[in-house]
Structure 1
Amino acid sequence: MKQINKLKSILLAVIVAFTACDTVDFGDTNVDPNNPSNAVTSLLLTNVQRGMSGYIASTTSNLYVQYLSNGQYDEESRYQTLNWNTDGAYALLQDVKQIIEINTNPDTRVAAQAYGSNGNQIAAATILKVWYYQMMTERWGYLPYSEANDASNTTKPVYDSQQDIYNGLFAELDSALASIDSGNGPDGDILFGGDMTMWRTFANTIKMTMALRLSKADAATGRTKFNEALSAGAISSNANNIQYTYLTEDTNDNPWQDRFESRRDYLMSDVFVNALIGSGTNTAPEDPRLAQMAELSTNGGVYVGAPYGQSNSATDDYSFITNNIINKGDAPLMIYTYAEVLFARAEAAAMGWTTENAATLYGQAVTASMTQWGVSTLDAATYLAANAYTSVDDIAYEKWVSLFLQGYNSWAEWRRFKAMGTESRIGLVAPPNLLSNANGIPQRHGYSATAASLNEANYNAAIAAQGADELNTVLWLFK
């Protein structure tokens, strides 16, 4: 009997042990400290910011606005590529979404404070989201926005209109600015080192830029938003220029240096070089910025641009981009500059959006651009005296010069100037023998080649509303 009772006791113990397994806390036994289950927001932020480099250092957009010409292979300057993929940008926006969710969710927001205050992390992520979406909608027009990156609810998001995207982005900027608090700035911030004053400046500069983009499409909204940004504070000196700072190490060095390590294919364009030579000579150009932006040709020792839209295999006959960019791994590239802000203020004044003086701001903008590029005060004053303000066309031309190598920003401004009828001094003309059925300088990018098959109904609705999925279709902002 005792033996039977002993067996019962053992059996009962085994049963209790197995039925209790669901409630036993094994602590961190199955947790790999090297692979955390929750994303680290500082790493996500760094990744999103590093993704900006591909757009800041774009070759295609700098060819569109004819700062550059191709070397031997001229297809890019003849607009060979029609379809452009948005997947990379949306992947980065998914990281942005994660940063915001981690800092909002009650289960994760407290732990996330180890990487900066919740409010400041949300603000930084939202500002970056706006920067990406502005650039994206100015490339493609209609895009998934309100339903984007929400696969749990829909895998076929609606394409929102450019106007709706812009309105949404303004609201998100205002929300981001309101979210900034006195706590620690975000860790992993390679743009501003967690300086929330600079994040505020960045947000207001984006708002000012977006507002001016509306000068043809929706001037009333543009004027309101412009003055909000002006009063709140955009970039106020060259010391505040917003730039992407590269490192000398190959993992994060200047893409222009990488390109020229493998092939010397990008040359200064004859359109740009001739404009800056102006009334001067090919060794002493009228615009002193040319000597800071370009090198003398290897053969001949003069400033000479390569014919735009043509094959230029004798590369040593032409000027290259300055060695301070193409041979310097840690050379920064500009995102927004003080000169750009001053030109925006000058144009806003000329349009009657503000009570500022257009001519004064124009002079300050030209001087700021000269200073940015290392031109002496005397040379800048001499140039300005010979190129005084007469009309908005002067602002358009000088802004185009000042945005050298800021391709996507300059392309958007050129399309806006064209819509406003103020681009004549810039004088860009498409080359002959265009590709991808282009009939002029591209007005947009075509959607991904798979866009129609993956989201057919919404793709078709966007095309019906916006126009053909071609490079020639003029977007709402630029009509």
Structure 2
Amino acid sequence: MKKIYLGLISLGLFVLSSGCSDDFGDMNVPSDAVTDVEPKFFLNSMQQEVFANYQRNVNLYPDLYSQYWANTVSGFGSPRYEYVDGWIGNQWKEFYTRHLRDALAIEASYAENPVYVDAIAIKDIWMCYWWSRMTDTYGDIPYFNAGQGEDVPYTSQQEIYVDLFKRLDHAISSITGGEEQYKYDDGYDLIYEGDARQWQKFGNSLRLRLAMRISNVDPVKAQAEVQAAINGTGGLLTSNDDVAKVPMWSQGWYDYLHQMAWNWGNVRMSKTFSDNLYNQSSAGEDPRAPKWFAYKVEGESKTKEEAGFDRYKGIENGYNLVPANSDDDYATINLEGGYIDFEGDGGVNLMYCPVMFYSEVKFLLAEAALRGWTTGDVNTLYKEGVSASMEYVGVSSDDASTYIDGLPNISGSNEAQLKQIITQKWLANFPNGVEGWADFRRTDYPDVTLPKDGVSGSSTVATGTWVKRVRYPDNEHLQNEANMPSALNTLDGDRMDIRLWWDTADTKTKTAGIMNSNF
């Protein structure tokens, strides 16, 4: 682990040499990277971006909009759909001035060297993940030739997705796994220890995720990409050993969930999430609940029984003035429950931040089977997804079986079946709020509530509707409106209730909790 952080010192020197500011022009100034810095130093930094500035980039936005968490600090605007440039605006700047530069430095220095074929492919797969996160946050963004030294027009989200599929296909198929290849080893690859074959699995699984993302807007393309992902070289994630997650160093400081939920008390479990931990199975409480959650009582972690509660309760989302004692009355993160992602490995890794669970792959396949795009029994794949999540979280096989046996089999209309799949997928994807929010926007499942105290009058989301994207940063409007989409290049037009390209389902068409627009 020491090597990793010594490596980051070298990377820090690179960043200092290239300089940065808040101006849009910075993202298009070529990096002055020293060409003999090894790729592993850059990749290590790129992976840590998953939890960089986590509170402002993720917890105050996707984590709340997915309704895994609810805010417990009065006056915070983001739970009521306000845009705060000093919070989520950081994601844009950090991606273009830091993350993209690192990727371009690897490409510029090593793309022509045959020893680095696998290293370049791994970098490309990781960048496809990051590009998808960026476009799924904002919609159209600067993409082609961004970071190359010139201002570039925004690329439509549709074009970005088409290119991401091409990039993933090329990267996955180009991996050799050869012994002569440069490897991101010695702890620098925080996810797969430089195992190129594991990166193939993740690349195919990411392709499957993105294929299902466009299932409503372009089903023909989606089906083709689903099948390409399933049949891709190396296959998909096949067990919980393949989970993609980023560890955090136990001796470092990280702006992650243990800070937000436990140390700072800024969030507690959402009531939406709590309700679904108790209403899905005839067995009652989801056995993952005590693994994930606890009550904080006088600075100590307590079970619900020890704290005097009959369940792990969540608070409603979207308060302006949060009720008193919210820290005491609602469940928070359990740092001692046996769930490895919150507890760490007891050694150098304090916690883990999720990128993709194996259970997600099972739910993606269940939905693909429901749509007739792959073989396999929908109900079997669905329950395998639940089982995979239970196993990963550390639930005993007996408790998992009892809960799963109490789940209703997949039945009813396609919409009703999809709701069952997505609701369990949403539970299993906890605490990956980025993915939870994306699935809600795509399918309008599960049943996410509107802000308790109403949509803020300072937001650009119409009353009675949900937030659908994050608007562009202030600096883009100040310095780059000429390259922005014409419909969004003013502050009035750049609204957060405008649906992304792949978001075609309209929540307002729900009848008794069931949509009519996902098929």
- Tell me the TM-score normalised to structure 1 length: 0.82
Q: CA deviation at 1:293?
A: 1.5
1:433 maps to amino acid: G
Partner of 1:38: 35
- Equivalent position of 1:30 in the other structure: none
Q: Which has the higher helix share?
A: 1
Alpha-carbon distance, 1:219 to partner: 0.8
1:349 pairs with 366, 369, 372, which one? 369
1:415 matched residue in structure 2: 441
Alpha-carbon distance in structure 2 between the residues aligned to 1:124 and 1:148: 20
In the other structure, the counterpart of 1:87 is 93
| Paired position in structure 1 for 2:122 | 124
Q: In angstroms, what is the RMSD of aligned CA positions?
A: 2.5
Find the counterpart in structure 2 of residue 13 from structure 1.
none
- Spell out, residue by residue over 1:169-212, the C-alpha distance to the aligned partner (whole angstroms, 9 max, x if none): 11111121233121242353222111101111111111010001
Farther off after superposition, 89-98 or 308-317 = 308-317
Distance 1:427 1:386, change over 3 A: farther
Take 2:203 and 2:222, find their aligned partners in 1: how far apart are those partners? 16
Pair 1:163–1:102, CA change in 2 (3 A): same
1:259 positional shift: 3.6
Using the alignment, how far apart are the partners of 1:397 and 1:358 within structure 2?
Answer: 15
Contact 1:241–1:336 under 8 Å retained in 2: yes
Q: What is the alpha-carbon distance in structure 2 between the residues aligned to residue 48 and residue 427 of structure 1?
A: 32
Matching residue of 2:334: 322
Contact 1:56 1:408 in 2 (8 A): no
Q: Which moved more, 1:201-210 or 1:455-464?
A: 455-464
The offset of 1:313, in angstroms, is 3.9
Asked if structure 1 preserves the Cα contact closer than 8 Å seen for 2:314 and 2:331, the reply is yes
Matched with 2:431 is 405
Show the counterpart of 1:12: none
Identity of aligned residues (%): 27
- C-alpha distance 277-102 of structure 1, shift in aligned 2 (>3 A): same
**1:228 maps onto 2:228 in alignment:** yes
| Equivalent of 1:426 in 444, 447, 452 | 447
Counterparts in 2 of 1:300 and 1:308: CA distance versus 1, 3 Å: farther
Following superposition, the deviation at residue 75 of structure 1 comes to: 2.8
- Which deviates more from structure 2 when the two are superposed, residues 127-136 or residues 256-265? 256-265
Does structure 1 conserve the Cα–Cα contact (< 8 Å) formed by 2:294 and 2:331? yes
In structure 1, the gaps of 5 or more residues are 1-34
Matches within 5 A, 1:138-157: 138-151=136-149, 154=150, 156-157=151-152
Q: Which amino acid aligns with 2:331?
A: S
Q: SS of the residue aligned with 1:476?
A: coil
SS at match of 2:70: strand
In the TM superposition, 1:372-387 aligns within 5 A as 372-387=392-407
Equivalent residues of 1:147, 1:158 under 8 A apart:
no
User: Displacement, 1:166?
Assistant: 0.4
CA contact (8 A) 2:153 2:483 kept: yes
When normalised by structure 2's length, the TM-score is: 0.76
* Aligned CA distance change for structure 1 residues 249 and 464 (closer, same or farther; 3 Å): closer
In the superposition, relative to structure 1, how do residues 235 and 460 fare at CA in structure 2: closer, same or farther (>3 Å)? closer
- Offset, 1:228: 1.1
Larger Rg: 1
CA distance in 2, matches of 1:402, 1:276: 11
1:102 aligns with 2:143: no
Aligned-partner SS, 2:375: coil
**Number of corresponding residues:** 424
Moved more, 449-458 or 318-327: 318-327
Matched, 1:447 2:472: yes
Distance 2:308 2:289 in 1: 17
Q: Does 1:437 align with 2:457?
A: no
The structural deviation recorded for 1:326 is 6.0
Aligned twin of 2:213? 213
Return the alpha-carbon distance in structure 1 between the equivalents of residues 316 and 34 of structure 2.
55
Please state how far the C-alpha of 1:380 moved relative to its aligned partner: 1.6
Is the CA contact 2:291–2:393 (under 8 Å) kept in the aligned structure 1?
yes
Matched, 1:309 2:335: no
Structure 2 Cα separation of the partners of residues 279 and 87 of structure 1 = 41
Closer/same/farther in 2, CA of residues 280 and 203 from structure 1, 3 Å limit: closer
